[in-house]
Chain A
Amino acid sequence: MHLNDEEKSMLNGDFGKAKKWALEHQIKVGNFFSASKFVNVSQAHMMVDPESIGQAGVIFLEDLVNKGAKVSIPTITDPRGVDLNYYKPLGQTEEMAEIDRRTNKACISMGIIMTDTCVNYQTIMPPVYGEHVAYGDTGVVIYSNSVCGARSNFEGGPSALAAGLTGRTPDYGLHLDKNRLPTKRFCVKYQPKDLTDWGILGAIIGKQLGSYWEVPIVEALEVVPNSDEMKHLGAAMASYGSTPLFHLHNITPEAKNLKIEQFDNLDLIDINSSDFESLKSLFGRKGDKIDVVVFAAPQLSIVEMQKVASLSKDKSFKVPVIVCTSPQVYADSLRMGFIEKIENSGAKVLQGTCFYQQYAREIGEANGWKKLLSNSTKIVNILGGYGYTPALASMENCILGAVKGEIV
Chain B
Amino acid sequence: MSKILKCHPGIGDKTEGIVLCANDNFSARYDLDRIKGVFSRPQHKLFGKSYKNKILVLNESKGGVASAWMLYEMKIRDVVPKAILFNKANTILAQGAAHANLTMCDRFIDGDITSLLKTGDKVIVDPSEGYIEII
Using a CB–CB cutoff of 8 Å, the interface residues on chain A facing chain B are 25, 28-29, 31-34, 47-49, 51-57, 60, 78, 136-138, 153-160, 173, 210-213, 238-242, 356-357, 361, 381-382, 384-387
Contacts and interface: CB of A to CB of B under 8 A. Distances in A.
A210 B25 contact: yes
A210 B96 contact: no
Contacts of A160: 65
Interface of B: 8-11, 25, 29-33, 40-44, 60-70, 72-73, 75-77, 88-92, 94-96, 98-99, 104
A381 B25 CA distance: 14
Contacts of A156: 65-69, 91-92, 95-96, 99
Given A385-B31, A385-B32, A385-B41, A57 B95 contact: no
Contacts of A240: 62
A211 B88 contact: yes
Given A32-B98, A33-B94, A211 B73 contact: no
A37 to B, nearest CB: 17
A60 B31 CA distance: 25
A154 B65 CA distance: 7
Given A52-B29, A137-B65, A241-B62, 6 more contacts: A32-B10, A32-B11, A52-B73, A156-B66, A158-B98, A242-B62
B61 A212 contact: yes
17 contacts: A25-B95, A25-B99, A53-B73, A55-B76, A56-B75, A78-B65, A138-B65, A155-B91, A155-B95, A158-B96, A159-B99, A160-B65, A212-B90, A242-B90, A381-B30, A382-B29, A386-B40
Contacts of B98: 25, 28-29, 32, 158-159
B73 A382 contact: no
B65 A157 contact: yes
A158 B68 contact: yes
A311 to B, nearest CB: 28
Contacts of B29: 52, 356, 382, 385
Nearest to A282: B43
A29 B95 contact: yes
A158 B72 contact: yes
Contacts, number: 141
A376 to B, nearest CB: 13
Given A154-B65, A211-B60, A387 B40 contact: yes
Contacts of A381: 30
A52 B96 CA distance: 12
A14 B124 CA distance: 38
Contacts of B96: 156, 158
A219 to B, nearest CB: 25
B25 A239 contact: no
A138 B73 contact: no
A121 to B, nearest CB: 15
Contact of B72 (A56, A78, A386): A56
Given A156-B92, A212-B88, A384 B41 contact: yes
Contacts of B9: 31-32
A213 B88 CA distance: 9
A34 B25 CA distance: 23
A65 to B, nearest CB: 17
A55 B25 CA distance: 27
A385 B62 contact: no
Nearest to B40: A385
Contacts of B91: 29, 33, 153-156, 159, 173, 212
B28 to A, nearest CB: 9
A47 B96 CA distance: 13
